[in-house]
Amino acid sequence: MRVLVACEFSGVVREAFRSRGHKAWSCDLLPSDRPGPHLQCDVLSVLTDGWDLMIAHPPCTYLSSSGLHWNGRVPGRAAQTEDALVFVQTLLNAPIGRIALENPIGCISSRIRKPDQIVQPWYFGDDASKATCLWLKNLPLLRKVNPLPGDNRTRRGNQTASGQNRLGPSPDRWKLRSITYQGFADAMAEQWGVL
């Protein structure tokens, strides 16, 4: 399959699909962190290039619940949320037969539509907690693969005792938190790469 991994600079999802024989490209405004096929451009300019599947990771800065409280406090921030929602809707409406869009819990659910599924990295063997919503087009729900014991209340390796993310403030915190966990990437490639 020709797979577009939209808004990915890490190459994790791209390489999960490539390792299974697919022609996958990542696309982001940033350069790729890993060597491999990468389109450094606005993904909107390549949506009509004949893709069979798109996995989209739109930036969550103005969409996630954890940041929406700033919309009433920072001038212009609410307009950035509106722009981000238009971008998400454009990705979901792309002329691509199969689409998965992922994002944390946030305003996509109330402003566009509810997600088809919410998954956790620990469902796929990664010792981490990060609720991730999936909006799907012509794709099945992901099945758990090698899930770790426990449930959503179990503290995972990426959490403090109070449940917060262990990563402290830093210039690259946003980048580190946005990287897809390997087990999750492998599950997408294994389950959606055979359709």
Residue 174: per-residue pLDDT: 62
Which range has highest mean pLDDT (59-63, 94-98, 163-167)? 94-98
pLDDT at residue 67 tops 90: no
In the chain, the domains with their CATH numbers are: 2-192 (3.40.50)
Distance CA 81, CA 124 (A): 31
Over residues 93-152, the pLDDT tens digits come to: 999 999 999 999 999 999 999 999 999 999 999 998 889 999 999 999 999 999 999 998
Q: What is the mean pLDDT of residues 165-172?
A: 68
| Higher pLDDT pick, 194 / 55 | 55
| Residue 175: pLDDT over 80 | no
Site of tokens 């403030």: 169
Bridge partners (DSSP) of residue 134 are: 102, 117
> How is residue 14 annotated by DSSP?
H
In this predicted structure, what is the pLDDT of residue 2? 98
Calculate the CA 23 to chain-centre distance: 19
This prediction has a pTM of: 0.91
Angle at 35 between CA 14 and CA 165, to 5 degrees: 60
The three-class DSSP label of residue 86 is helix
pLDDT at 188: 98
Mean of the per-residue pLDDT values for the chain?
91
pLDDT value at residue 160 = 62
